[in-house]
Amino acid sequence: MNNNLPIEIQQLIANYEPEKVILFGSHADGTSDEHSDFDFLIIKETETPRLLRRGEALKNARRTVPLDLIILTPAELHVLQAAGVELILQILETGKTIYERDKSMVEFH
- 69-96, pLDDT tens digit by residue? 999 999 999 999 999 999 999 999 999 9
Output the pTM of the full model. Answer: 0.86
| Confidence (pLDDT) at 71 | 97
Nearest partner of 24 among 10, 12, 13, 36, judged by Cα: 36
DSSP-derived 3-state class of residue 34: coil
Given pLDDT bands bounded at 50, 70 and 90, which one contains residue 109? Answer: very low
Whole-angstrom Cα Rg for the chain:
13
- List the beta bridge partners of residue 38: 67
Beta pairing partners, 22:
41, 97
Domain boundaries, the chain: 7-105
CATH topology of domain 7-105: Beta Polymerase; domain 2 (3.30.460)
**pLDDT at site 12:** 84
